[in-house]
Amino acid sequence: MRLRTTPWLRRMVPLRIAVARAEARGRALWERDPEARQRALAAIEAIVAGTARAGEVTALARQHLIETEVYEVMFWRPWIVPAIDAASEERLRRTLALDGGVLISVCHLGTMFLSMARVLALGHTPYSVVAPWLFESAGSGDWDRRLDRWWTAIRARDERLVPSVGSFPVLRALLEQGEVVQLFFDMPGGGETRFLGKPVMLATGSARLAVQAGVPIVPMRARRDGHRMHADVGEPLDPSEFASVGDLHQALAAVHERWILEVPASLEDPRRPGAWELGATATGWSRPGSA
């Protein structure tokens, strides 16, 4: 298991070949594993139902298995700095150069764990909001090796973490002190939002933090093109230009929705543990336990 999950050993296989093998494993899973196929179909139906891509469930579900295998390859290899186009880099540099904090909004899309490397490359150390499971004690099983991989990469990047539970006042203080904070947008919460063509109960903390701290929100996403990884940066959303927290939240939802629907197979399964679980269906995503 240690050999299989050792980044330096995996690096010996050229990335192009490693990704091609992962894609082949994903295609084989679709053909040979009925349970994996059904999970992928349920995930994609929950994501694209009600959108213009609702008729592509089968093809996207197959691609979802492929993307999951590619994610695993990238997770266990040394974490790279993704490529970035000139317009995205200019937006990021311009916003980070402002006098004040910056809130970076991401979704569980593609190799999202690589995105913050672009911020670090510009000389800024972000505070990333993470779930409590990352602070569990590591042992010797598969899950513990995964936790160890997270922490090895986090320490190597000198990234700072904030536990998600009760984090709002801490994050607001950090932003008011001029820090960079990364927060996941696609998490369950109490704000019913029109998202991906259906009502979704989303956390609204990003918009509330931006308004209360008076800082811009910078949408970011990770995507891949073959074996090459990219980070895209959207136009910053200035809270002063919106009439309410709700309007800012819906504008941010629209940005992430557009990006997700370009590559819906790259979005993590909303039915996974810790997300909406069985509350994520084709008709809407409700908070776990409320469906």
| pLDDT (tens digit per residue) in 252-265 | 999 999 999 999 99
Q: Which residue has the higher pLDDT, 14 or 185?
A: 185
> Is 6 a residue whose pLDDT tops 80?
no
Mean pLDDT of 162-166: 92
Question: What residue spans define the domains of the chain?
Answer: 7-76, 86-285
Answer whether residue 10 shows pLDDT above 80: no
Exposure class string for 94-103: b at 16+ Cβ within 10 A, else e: ebbeeeebbb
258 within 8 A of 229, measured Cβ to Cβ: no
Question: What is the side-by-side strand order in the sheet with 198-202?
Answer: 188-195, 198-202, 284-285, 280-281
Mean pLDDT, range 65-81, rounded to an integer = 93
Q: What percent of the chain has pLDDT over 70?
A: 94
Is the pLDDT score of 3 beyond 70? no
215 or 13, higher pLDDT: 215
Position 75 scores a pLDDT of 93
**pLDDT at position 11, please?**
65
For 102-149, the DSSP string reads EEEEE-SBSSGGGTHHHHHHTT---EEEE-GGGGSPP-SSHHHHHHHH
Contact (CB, 8 A) for 70 and 19: yes
d(CA 197, CA 15): 36
- pLDDT value at position 291? 47
Residues with Cβ < 8 Å from 94, sequence gap 6 or more? none
Average of pLDDT values for 31-53?
A: 98
The per-residue pLDDT for range 195-231, each reduced to its tens digit, is: 999 999 999 999 999 999 999 999 999 999 999 999 9
Q: How far is CA 203 from CA 150, 250, 276, in A?
A: 24, 12, 12
Separation between Cα atoms, residue 217 and residue 42, nearest integer Å = 32
Give the dihedral sign, CA 72/73/74/78.
positive
Instruction: Tell me the mean pLDDT in the region 51-57.
Output: 98
Are the beta carbons of 74 and 11 closer than 8 angstroms? no
Q: Residue 201 burial (CB < 10 Å; 0-12/13-18/19+)?
A: buried
User: How far apart are the C-alpha atoms of 275 and 235, rounded to whole Å?
Assistant: 27
How far is the CA of 216 from the CAs of 23, 171, 181, 202, 241, in angstroms? Answer: 38, 14, 11, 20, 10
Q: What is the C-alpha to C-alpha distance for residues 180 and 127, in angstroms, rounded to an integer?
A: 6
Give the confidence band of 178 by pLDDT, cuts at 50, 70, 90: very high
Both tokens assigned to 193: 């939002």
pLDDT at 138: 59
Entry pTM = 0.92
Q: Which of 219, 234, 267, 248 is nearest to 44 (CA)?
A: 267
Where does the chain show beta strands of DSSP type E? 102-106, 127-130, 160-163, 180-184, 188-195, 198-202, 217-225, 228-233, 280-281, 284-285
Average pLDDT of the residues of the chain = 92
Beta strands in 141-216 (DSSP E): 160-163, 180-184, 188-195, 198-202
User: How many other C-beta atoms can be found within 10 angstroms of the C-beta atom of residue 89?
Assistant: 16
Can you give the pLDDT at residue 7? 58
CA distance 36 to 64: 10
Burial zone of 48 (CB within 10 Å; 0-12 exposed, 13-18 middle, 19+ buried): buried
